[in-house]
Amino acid sequence: MKAWYSAVVVFLALMGLNGCTPTRVGDRVPLVVPERWHNAPDAQPVSAPKDLSQWWKGFGDPVLNDLIGRALAANQDLKIASSRVREAAALVTVAEAAFYPTLDFSVGGGREKRIDRVLPVPGNGGITLTTPRADVFTAGLIARWELDVFGSRHLEAEAAAAKALGSEEARRAVQVGLLAQLATSYLELRGVQKQTAILRENISVQHKRLQVLQSFYRSGLANRLDVTRQEGLLRGSEAMLPVLLQRAAALIHRLGVLLGEPPASLHTRLGESAPLPEAVPKIPELLPADLLLQRPDLRLAQTEVSAAAAHLGMAKAELLPKIILAGSGGFGALALGGFPTLTESVYTLGSGLTAPLFNAGRIRAQISAGDARLDQAAANYEKTFLIALEDVENAYVAHASALERRNQLIRAESAADRSHTYAEAFYQRGATDFLSVLDAQRTRLSTSDERTKAETAVRVSLVSIYRAFGGGWSGKSLVSQVDKATDGGDNFLLPVAADRDKATR
């Protein structure tokens, strides 16, 4: 009785250890996070999470809103990413199944008859022995359970869960990129269409100028050089028209593919020129630390660190013993010749313990490899964060530059308009010729073309800012919250790293 009681106590103790993970490795990475953006507008915000999930609606363009809604429903890249999320979720179930015993049903049967044998008998030649035919049938259940005393199976499940979370972050990253690419293509299309309209008007003006010069040449009021120079300018402008038309067609084709449709499916709807959106979304007021929660690629890199830490813990657990409980039960039947069938129930119960003694350094090498992979994941996390900071700073610079260029061109366009107005007034009074009017008009149109490019660049730079901040998906953080405890100065200890040599739960 005491032996049985002791066995129960040992079993319960092992069950208490089951799920504890003394080989777990830390997954925190120290990052140096700037307090402010260097190139942001002067009004720097206080850190406060903002919802950037539908930033494109700030343009107030119903066509853009409709295109994005259709892309979210039908884009193939999103479908691929979503299927990977389902795959990773299924693999989590596979990993967690190792926590539980396995139970299998087994059934077998057959017929047996041995070869006749002749026993030699002196003086009689021998005696023939015939073994009767036997029918054998067995059936039963087989159970096996490996107790996760040192947490190897739990770490495997944690790694699978981290990869599943990473696949969700990868899907979000695809969505962020899709929305930014679609909005950029749409805005560029509207800009190109505006440029095309301006170019057509410019070609018309240059054609009139050529006609006037040809008339003056025939009257002896202009020389041949003026005519050929103007003809060269006209042909050069005409040569630019196919380039713009090709660019517009390519953008329409890109938008069609992003919507999961044939490339030419949007020509009817988007082929006609439409103005750039007048409204623009506000610049998001986020601080550098907010990127860690907002950008999916950073959250993905964080899950990769967690998965690598779990795999390293699994490798360390290989040094420790494994305890296995096994059992089977069933019945068997034997029919031998004409004798009555023999049936009996059978069962087995057992346990085993295995521990590594010699493996030529295999386990230690796996631990070393796992440690190297964790270093790689941590370095990749730091690199991804630096790239995220770079993306935002570059987007801020591009937006400021586009705004400055747009403002300068607005003033230049205003001056060109005044010049054209004065030229027409002087022409009406006979103070100048018609060529001056056409030249002023051509200059005004060229300035308008440059301003259209600048207006497009301003809007595209806003898209880049929202993309750099990870805008375009909704949902609360599933990874972790920013730990604002400082580690000396500007060193913020953010989820993902630290002491790998300490076994922590």
186 and 201 fall within a common domain:
yes
pLDDT for res 116: 55
Give the pLDDT mean for 454-482.
77
Which residue range(s) make up the domain with 334?
Answer: 100-114+132-147+321-354
pLDDT for res 475: 52
Buried b (16+ CB within 10 A) or exposed e, 439-462: bbbbbbbbbbbbbbbbbbbbbbbb
137 and 167 fall within a common domain:
no
Tell me, yes or no, whether 57 lies in a domain. Answer: yes
Lowest mean pLDDT among 254-263, 277-286, 371-380: 277-286
Amino acid identity at 353: L
pLDDT for res 390: 96
Lowest mean pLDDT among 5-9, 145-149, 189-193: 5-9
Give the pLDDT mean for 49-71.
89
342-354 and 322-336 as β-strands: parallel, antiparallel, unpaired?
A: antiparallel
Tell me, yes or no, whether 10 lies in a domain. Answer: no
Give the long-range contacts of residues 430-437, CB within 8 A, separation 24 or more.
Answer: 434/212, 435/209, 435/212, 435/213
197 and 315 fall within a common domain:
yes
158 and 232 fall within a common domain:
yes
pLDDT for res 174: 95
Amino acid identity at 77: D
Amino acid identity at 392: V
Cβ proximity of 447 and 411 under 8 Å: no
Amino acid identity at 362: R
Q: How far apart are CA 196 and CA 377, in angstroms?
A: 49
Whether residue 134 has pLDDT greater than 60: yes
Distance of CA 26 to the CA centre of its chain: 25
286 and 385 fall within a common domain:
yes
408 and 460 fall within a common domain:
yes
Q: How far apart are CA 112 and CA 343, in angstroms?
A: 17
Q: How far is CA 329 from CA 103, 105, 136, in A?
A: 11, 10, 17
Cβ proximity of 57 and 474 under 8 Å: no
Give the pLDDT mean for 170-193.
95
Cβ proximity of 144 and 325 under 8 Å: yes
166 and 139 fall within a common domain:
no
Q: Which residues contact 284 (CB under 8 A, 6 or more apart)?
A: 50, 52, 55, 465, 466, 469, 471
Number of independent structural domains in the chain: 2
Q: CATH number for the domain including 260?
A: 1.20.1600.10
Q: How far apart are CA 439 and CA 69, in angstroms?
A: 46
Q: Which residues contact 224 (CB under 8 A, 6 or more apart)?
A: 217
Longest Cα pair distance anywhere in the chain, in angstroms?
Answer: 153
Q: How far apart are CA 214 and CA 193, in angstroms?
A: 31
pLDDT for res 447: 87
167 and 314 fall within a common domain:
yes
Tell me, yes or no, whether 499 lies in a domain. Answer: no
Average pLDDT, the chain: 81
Helices vs strands, H then E, count in the chain: 10, 8
341 and 411 fall within a common domain:
no
Tell me, yes or no, whether 13 lies in a domain. Answer: no
Of the pLDDT bands very low, low, confident and very high (cuts 50, 70, 90), residue 47 is very low
Lowest mean pLDDT among 15-19, 188-192, 311-315, 488-492: 488-492
Cβ proximity of 460 and 188 under 8 Å: yes
Cβ proximity of 151 and 24 under 8 Å: yes
Buried b (16+ CB within 10 A) or exposed e, 409-433: beebbeebbebbeebbeebeeeebe
pTM (two decimals):
0.81
Q: How far is CA 61 from CA 68, 189, 283, 328, 463, in A?
A: 11, 14, 18, 69, 14
55 and 139 fall within a common domain:
no
Q: Which residues contact 42 (CB under 8 A, 6 or more apart)?
A: none
Whether residue 495 has pLDDT greater than 50: no
Tell me, yes or no, whether 4 lies in a domain. Answer: no
pLDDT for res 413: 84
Of the pLDDT bands very low, low, confident and very high (cuts 50, 70, 90), residue 428 is low
Whether residue 74 has pLDDT greater than 50: yes
191 and 265 fall within a common domain:
yes
Percent of the chain at pLDDT exceeding 90: 42
Tell me, yes or no, whether 124 lies in a domain. Answer: no
Give the pLDDT mean for 338-354.
70
165 and 273 fall within a common domain:
yes
Q: How far apart are CA 496 and CA 77, in angstroms?
A: 28
Domain C-terminal end among 329, 354, 379: 354
Whether residue 113 has pLDDT greater than 70: no
Of the pLDDT bands very low, low, confident and very high (cuts 50, 70, 90), residue 16 is very low
pLDDT for res 504: 33
442 compared with 163, residue with greater pLDDT: 163
Cβ proximity of 354 and 163 under 8 Å: no
SS3 content of the chain, % helix, strand, coil (to 5): 60, 15, 25
431 compared with 206, residue with greater pLDDT: 206
pLDDT for res 19: 47
Whether residue 462 has pLDDT greater than 90: yes
Tell me, yes or no, whether 302 lies in a domain. Answer: yes
Q: CATH number for the domain including 341?
A: 2.20.200.10
Lowest mean pLDDT among 62-66, 351-355, 371-375, 482-486: 482-486
Tell me, yes or no, whether 299 lies in a domain. Answer: yes
- Three-point CA angle 345, 347, 349, nearest 5°: 170
Give the pLDDT mean for 360-386.
93
